[in-house]
Structure 1
Amino acid sequence: MRSDRLLSIMLLLQTHGRLPAGTLAERLEVSVRTVMRDVEALSSAGVPVYTVRGPHGGIALLPGFRTDVTGLTADEARALFVLMSGRAHDELGLGRAIGSALRKLMAALPAAHRPGADLASRRVLIDPVRWRGGPAQPAPDLAVLQEAVFGDRRLRVRYRHGGDSRPRSYTLDPYGLVNKAGVWYLVADHRGEPKLFRADRVSSAEVADQPVRRRDGLELAGLWDTLRRRVDDVPTPVPVTVGVRRDVLDRFLRVHQADLAPTAGVNGFGGVDGFGGDGERVSVELRFRSLDAAGALLAFGPDVEVLEPVELRHALARRAAETAALYAARPLSGRPASRRGPGR
């Protein structure tokens, strides 16, 4: 609708200052001619908008002009008040600020939209944290990461990768922070290449004196999409069915949370929904990137039995037999594993 587009032009100019007509056209997905007609309509309606010619020209509002949000539709107002759970805001130190901001926004809404917005905030809650995610591990240097991100400074971190026992040192050029399923990630360039760093694996962080060196034309959303696809765009996963002893089921689900098949779920009473099985073992459906990746199931020993596919059963049996043969063929000699002190 044209009224929505006119409001969008005012809000864009209010937020970014002078903008070229081509930039506005690209943002609004219309032609430059349509933008210029809209600018004329705004001017006729009394909005202090003007154009500047030349290579550094564009469209702008007179300094000091502000508009409110009374142009919001009912659906747009409700969308703003569909709340995320407060955990992400709290971790950013914005727990109180989000409540204050929403109260101010509510006061600025047209009276007709306030009941619907209030109802949306009380009837819809989005909690991005997965089931059985375990207790949240705080990111001790999240404040430092924010300081670098918002201050446009380089960042020095000590970071431990998933398979490493010791942290490594990096100097990064941060683009921003992303909260994915309750986990914070830092998106940053390292030596000109985009990388993803889990905030809870940062053992220490320090804001550097040098200004950030971001590559031109790149924004957080685009880089995140690229990095996310590197994780998501993998070959078709291998379906695996395992039988898990009931007394280790909770621990198994925590360890292999990311490998659970999409059909698996957890019901509201703490039981497992979507997993079959009777008696001592419970059947669990998993997805692995490859048969080699499924080898991690051996860590549970006899508490977890692979039921399908048959080739994985054979592969794990061979690996277990090779391990047993290694220990049988090379028994420890000399000092025992545990020693008593002198005189005992």
Structure 2
Amino acid sequence: MKSGRLLSILLLLQTRGRVPARELADRLEVSVRTVYRDVEALSAAGVPVYAERGRHGGIELLAGFRTDVTGLTADESRALFILAAQGAHVALGLDQALGSALRKVMAALPAPHRPAAEETSRRILVDATRWKGGPRRAADLQVLQDAVFADRRLRLRYRHSGERETRTYTVDPYGLVSKAGVWYLVADRRARPRLFRADRVRSATVLDDPVRRRPGVELADAWEVLRRQVEERTGGLDVTARVRRERLDMFLRLNAGHLAELPDDDGTGEWVTVRLSYGVVREARQLLPYAAEVEVLSPPEVREDLAAAAASVTRLYRPAAEDGS
């Protein structure tokens, strides 16, 4: 709606100062011509807004002009009080600031919308952490934040999963991402995007050197590339197994990351065939906890490895009198 677009332009100009017409058009998903028409409408309504053309031009409010505008709808008011990933604000040291900001927003809301916003904050809760995630080393985000906001390079001492020794990296940070309750640093190393789990950073030092990001690349761009790399990483080993039907839902839920495709289930029979993908043979040992509820059908090397692993567990727990020792 035009009224909402006019309000968006006004709020952007109040917070940003001079903004190029093309940027406003891109943000609002309209043409530059429409932006200029909207500016004329604001001016006709008494808002002191003007446009300057040229290379360094843009649209700007008269210096010193401010207006207390919210214009929030009922749904927008509710949306502000549904706080996704509340733990993220605590981790960043912003929980008190968030509470203060929400109180100010509440005071600025149109009176008819305040009860709905208050009710939403009591009735809707979003917890972005996974069930039974297990204990994790606390991530110290302060130095990482300092580098991100100061646009400085970082020197990290970092321990990769499965390694005892730390490695040292000099990186160019784009920002921090919270994914299912886990914090990641997105950064370039030697002009290539890298992902570092914050809780594996053993120490971090902000360097005096300015950050050297790739031109035109933002945090969201780098994160999208890295996210796809993780999610689309293909295994080199195709495994076919069968799962007892009464355990199928749980199995699919817990092994979604290794499913090559959804099983073709006709709803009959005791067993359902599934196809999985792993990086190496030993990785398929993740199937051992299912005991007799899951049987690998192929390839033979995976069956042999699982049989050997199961035999070693049997020997470990077999009473000494039974094995003749």
Same fold (TM over 0.5): yes
The correspondence for 1:298, drawn from 275, 280, 285, is 285
Residue-by-residue CA offset, 1:153-181 (whole Å, 9 max, x unaligned)? 11110111223221111111111100000
TM-score by length of 1: 0.75
Alignment of 1:200-211 (within 5 A): 200-211=199-210
What is the aligned partner in structure 1 of residue 305 from structure 2?
319
Residue 185 of structure 2 is aligned to residue 198 of structure 1: no
CA-CA distance at 1:202 after TM superposition = 0.5
Q: Residue 15 of structure 1 aligns with which residue?
A: 15
Secondary structure at the residue paired with 1:131? coil
Work out whether residues 242 and 297 of structure 2, in 8 Å CA contact, stay in contact via their aligned partners in 1: no
1:137 is paired with a residue whose SS is coil
**Which residue pairs with 1:308 in the alignment?**
295
Equivalent AA in structure 2 for residue 39 of structure 1: V
Give the aligned residue type for 2:177: V
Contact 1:194 1:223 in 2 (8 A): yes
Shift of 1:43: 1.0
- Report the Cα distance in structure 1 between the residues aligned to 2:72 and 2:240, rounded to whole angstroms: 47
**2:52 paired with 1:52:** yes
Distance 1:316 1:223 in 2: 36
**Farther off after superposition, 6-15 or 197-206:** 6-15
Q: 1:183 matched to which residue of 2?
A: 182
Q: Return the alpha-carbon distance in structure 2 between the equivalents of residues 287 and 203 of structure 1.
A: 38
Match of 1:289 among 277, 284, 292: 277
Q: Distance in 2 between matches of 1:124 and 1:324?
A: 46
Shift of 1:54: 1.9
Q: Secondary structure of the equivalent of 1:15?
A: helix
Q: Is the 8 A contact 2:186 2:219 kept in 1?
A: yes
Aligned partner of 1:232: which letter?
E
* Change over 3 Å in CA distance of 1:100–1:288 after alignment to 2: farther
Inter-partner Cα distance in structure 1 for 2:175 and 2:253: 24
Cα separation, 1, equivalents of 2:227 and 2:74: 33
Q: Which residue of 2 aligns with 1:27?
A: 27
Q: Indicate if the aligned counterparts of 1:261 and 1:286 stay in contact, CA closer than 8 A.
A: no
Displacement after TM superposition at 1:196 (Å): 0.8
> What corresponds to 1:268 in structure 2?
none
Query: Could you tell me which residue of structure 2 aligns to residue 328 of structure 1?
Result: none
Q: Structure 1 pair 36/192, CA: closer, same or farther in 2 (3 Å)?
A: same
- Whether the 8 Å contact between 2:18 and 2:58 is mirrored in structure 1 is yes
- 2:297 aligned partner, one-letter code: V
Q: Secondary structure at the match of 1:59?
A: strand
SS at match of 1:82: coil
Q: Is the 8 A contact 2:177 2:184 kept in 1?
A: yes
**SS across alignment from 2:135:** coil
Does the Cα contact within 8 Å between 1:240 and 1:287 map onto a contact in 2?
A: yes
**Residues 153, 212 of structure 1: 8 Å contact kept:** yes
* Residues in 2 aligned to 1:10 and 1:68: alpha-carbon distance in whole angstroms: 11
Q: What is the CA–CA distance in structure 2 between the aligned matches of 1:135 and 1:323, rounded to whole Å?
A: 27
- Secondary structure of the equivalent of 1:289? strand
CA contact (8 A) 1:173 1:214 kept: yes
Q: Unmatched 5+ residue regions in structure 2?
A: 245-249, 258-270, 312-325
Who is 2:255 aligned against?
Answer: 260
Distance 1:238 1:179, change over 3 A: farther
Task: Quote how far apart the aligned CAs of 1:239 are.
Answer: 7.2
Aligned equivalent of 2:321: none
Contact 1:78 1:116 survives alignment (8 Å): yes
Q: 2 CA distance for matches of 1:234 and 1:103?
A: 44
The 5 A counterparts of 1:1-344 are 1-140=1-140, 142-235=141-234, 259-261=254-256, 288-290=276-278, 292-293=279-280, 295-298=282-285, 304=291, 307-311=294-298, 314-319=300-305
Secondary structure at the aligned position of 1:19 is classed as: coil
Cα gap change, 1:305 to 1:324, in 2 (>3 Å)? closer
- Percent identity among equivalent residues? 59
Q: Secondary structure at the match of 2:115?
A: helix
CA 1:84/1:303 → structure 2, altered by over 3 Å: closer, same or farther?
A: closer
- Which one-letter code corresponds to 1:151 in the other structure? A
| AA of the residue aligned to 1:172 | V
Q: Cα distance 1:21–1:315, how it changes in 2: closer, same or farther (>3 A)? A: same
Q: CA deviation at 1:259?
A: 4.7
Q: Which segment is superposed worse, 196-205 or 302-311?
A: 302-311
Name the SS of the counterpart of 1:208 in structure 2: strand
2:298 partner SS: helix
Q: Is the 8 A contact 1:11 1:67 kept in 2?
A: no
After TM superposition, the structure 1 stretch with the greater mean CA deviation from structure 2, 45-54 or 195-204, is 45-54
* DSSP-derived class of the 1:308 partner: strand
With over 3 angstroms needed to count, the CA separation of the structure-2 counterparts of 1:111 and 1:287, relative to structure 1, is farther
